[in-house]
Structure 1
Amino acid sequence: MDVFPSFEGLSGIGDLREVVGALLMFALITAVLMLIVSAIIWAVSSGTGNYAAATKGRVGVLVCLGGAILAGAGVAWMNWLIGIGQQL
């Protein structure tokens, strides 16, 4: 038995997909830009001996990586959940 969600049951679902895709792209671009800024801050502050700013730069790099991973893996996770739902 094939059980699959009906994405055509709601009006405007195509517009919703476009909006979600644009938001994911915006999130990924923002994460990459902030990753670059945080890495520069981490490198410069480590080189000048400002360890408080280096710690903040390192935390910024880790948060940006986490955000990019979550935003990029959202679609794959949803497809995995749909696949699991078909097996039930």
Structure 2
Amino acid sequence: MDVFPDFGGVGAAGQLRTVVGALLMVVLITAVLMLIVCAVSWAVAASNGNYHAATRARAGLFVAVGAAALAGAGVAWTNFLLNIGSHL
């Protein structure tokens, strides 16, 4: 008796790719907008001498950059796994 994986068990892989791509695009857009807001807040707070607000804005900037990097890596990882899965 031979045991093989059921390649037809996961239907609509193309739709899954579209949905994941759209969700991660929303995350990227939000991260870029937050990056702009935090950068402006950091600049304004630092120029006015409010170092506590500048520190918080800088932390927000780093979080936004990390979120954008993770979202971009998530798109690449999902596409990689879907392509590998179709070639198995």
Q: How high is the TM-score relative to the length of structure 2?
A: 0.74
* Cα root mean square deviation, aligned: 2.9
Superposed CA offset, 1:12-40 (max 9, x none): 33322211010111010000000000000
The 1-side partners of 2:69 and 2:56 are apart by 20
Partner of 1:49: 49
Displacement, 1:75? 3.2
Deviates more, 1:33-42 or 1:16-25: 16-25
**Kept after mapping to 1: 8 A contact 2:13/2:82:** no
Q: Which has the larger radius of gyration?
A: 2
TM-score by length of 1: 0.74
The alpha carbon displacement at 1:81 in A equals 6.7
